[in-house]
Amino acid sequence: MTAIADLAADLAAARFTVDSLGELWGEDAAAALHRGQRVPAMRALAELPEALERGASSASATLARAFVLGLPVLPDALAAALPTLGFVGAVALGLVDAQGNPLLDLRPYSFVDGSGVVSWWIASDLGELALGHAIPEQHVLGVGGASTTLSGLMISSPVDLALDLGTGCGIQALHAARHATRVIATDISVRALELARFNADLNGVTNIEFREGSLFEPVAGERFGHVVSNPPFVITPRGAEGVPAYEYRDGGMVGDALVASVIKDVEAHLEPGGVAQLLGNWEYGAGLSQADGLARVEQWVRFTALDAWVVERERQNVEQYAETWIRDGGTRPGPEFDRLYDAWLDDFATRGVTHVGFGYVTLRRPATGAPTLRRFEVLDGPVGGSLGERVSALLDAHDWLASRDDAALARESLTVAPDVTEQRHYWPGDEHPTVMDLHQGSGFARTVPLGTALAAVVGACDGTLQLGAICDAVAELLEVDAAELGDEVIPQVRELVLTGLLLA
């Protein structure tokens, strides 16, 4: 712990932050790194003026070269960049070898949540760029697109005990530790648990317990207020010779059975009112014996006593899916890539799979009674920030609506959410719009078509009048039956409240 504390002190003193890296190589090089290309960043470091070769900026450049770009550094340079830990300490921690070649990826990570701006350092195994070849099957992945997606979706309501199922480098456990009194983080990989524990210690997070084991085995009989999981959901050919089984993404099951298993088994580990959030894949195809895609997920949920909201964000054909994940492992186009490609397509053909969906799964054990929320939808457009707040708000709005029949809802006063705008489209020269819709500016950025009656009702929702009174006034204005207008509009208003375009 002392050596890790020394490392943290040196990283802080060197201003080894997301902002400082941006200052070192600029936006274009940072974007190239995000695409897996480090040459622009290397050129930027080589062109730093001599003034940046001294003090904290020099230290930050040395650390960036070693632990972000994966390039060797001179022992003396690293010792200067880590004066408290020293070069010998860096070797002892497994950061570099005796010649100054990096052994770990270690980079700053920053985000904003409900409690403010947070900056951490996250260690993981060296990636393809640094290794120069495909990653090993025991590779521990760092912070990537899937992990930032899940952390962005994470509900931050306080709980006593949270579970990070399949913790990897520990990033979700660290996020959960900000709203949970205690977190249990599990993984089948001993290497992953070592790095996750290292990351917790490096960032001074002390309320995480790490346990080895597969899926829910390490927490048998325990229940949680919050479960988060970026599980090894990637569909990998089974039985094909020489297909890498990467621990960070391959759960060892056929097709999408891993996600189905987690959905089925998480129910026993949620306390009343507890929420589970996970990412997953599901299969589409005429040859499937069960339902297709989202309908498959609905079938998995049907046999649980859980509320469910499932969002499909992307759907790939099997060719795109295979290319994505073969390349993800570091295999470049060539004979080996083609061999793996064949294995993937053979596996999909065996089960008649044509497409694979990816999305977000939110499950909740009702505090009392039977589940009342079963929502399965495709939202494949651009999204805004604060998705975790949107997930929490939808659950709260559902509960609020479930406690009110239409007559009770008509007695409520509603307001239009501050991020919602109305868009109207006209044919040139026409007085009346041909298309009207509401657009949500943040969160899931929904666009909702408006009819004349609904547009008039929403336009009057400023919190001063009851919904029923607004409907009556609009009916009179449009010279239609008030009861019929209410029957048409109130279910639409329910949907707008549920999805956050109208606020109670």
Structural domain boundaries of the chain? 2-102, 137-316+355-376, 404-503
Q: What are phi and psi of 56, to 5 degrees?
A: -65, -35
- Helix or strand run (H / E) with residue 111: strand 104-113
Element (H, E) at 159: strand 159-165
Residue, of 2 and 289, whose pLDDT is higher? 2
Which three-class secondary structure state does DSSP give residue 500?
Answer: coil
CATH 1.10.10, applies to 404-503: yes
Largest CA-CA distance found in the chain, in angstroms, rounded: 85
Mean pLDDT of 38-67: 76
Q: How confident is the model at residue 239 (pLDDT cuts 50, 70, 90)?
A: confident
Q: Is 350 helix (H, G, I), strand (E, B) or coil?
A: helix
Where do runs of H (alpha helix) occur along 362-440? 387-402, 406-410
Q: Report phi then psi at 375, rounded to 5.
A: -130, 125
Question: For the residues 444-458, what does the mean pLDDT come to?
Answer: 94
The whole-angstrom separation of Cα 496 and Cα 440 is 10
pLDDT > 50? residue 51: no
Interatomic CA distance for residues 86 and 78, integer angstroms: 8
Q: Decide: 322 and 282 in contact? Cβ < 8 Å.
A: no
**Tokens 């479930």 belong to residue:** 402
Average confidence (pLDDT) over 391-399: 97
pLDDT band, very low/low/confident/very high, at 288 (cuts 50, 70, 90): low
CB 361 within 8 Å of CB 308: yes
* Contact status, residue 70 vs residue 130, Cβ threshold 8 Å: yes
Tokens, residue 253: 């099951």
Q: Which residues pair with 161 in a beta bridge?
A: 182
State which H helix or E strand residue 466 sits in. strand 462-466
Which residues face 233 on adjacent strands?
250
pLDDT at 223 over 60: yes
pLDDT for position 273: 97
pLDDT bracket for residue 240 (50, 70, 90): confident
Distance in angstroms (rounded) separating the CA atoms of residues 81 and 404: 62
Task: Count CB-CB contacts under 10 A for residue 53.
Answer: 12
Q: Note the pLDDT of residue 50.
A: 41
The backbone torsions φ and ψ at residue 246, rounded to the nearest 5 degrees and listed phi first, read -70, 125
Distance, CA of 309 to CA of 399 (rounded, Å):
13
Neighbouring C-beta atoms of residue 108, cutoff 10 Å: 21
Q: Are 87 and 93 in contact (CB under 8 A)?
A: no
pLDDT given for residue 425 in this prediction? 79
Beta strands in 318-433 (DSSP E): 355-364, 374-378, 413-416, 420-425
Would the pLDDT of 52 be above 70? Answer: no
Mean pLDDT rounded to a whole number for the chain: 92
Within 412-481, residue ranges assigned H as helices are 452-459, 467-478
Q: Which helix (H) or strand (E) holds 208?
A: strand 208-212
What is the number of residues in the chain?
A: 504
Of 149 and 427, more confident: 149
To the nearest 10 degrees (0 to 180), the angle between helices 2-13 and 190-202 is 60
Q: Which residue has the tokens 């900000």?
A: 178
Six-digit token pair at 418?
A: 């501050």
Give the chain's count of helices (H) and strands (E).
19, 16
Overall fold of domain 137-316+355-376:
Rossmann fold (3.40.50)
pLDDT at residue 286, as a whole number: 66
| Model confidence at 55: pLDDT above 50 | no
CA–CA gap between residue 406 and residue 320 (Å, rounded) = 46
Cβ contact 102:82 at 8 Å: no
Report which of 286, 487, 263, 288 is spatially closest to residue 376, judged by C-alpha positions: 263
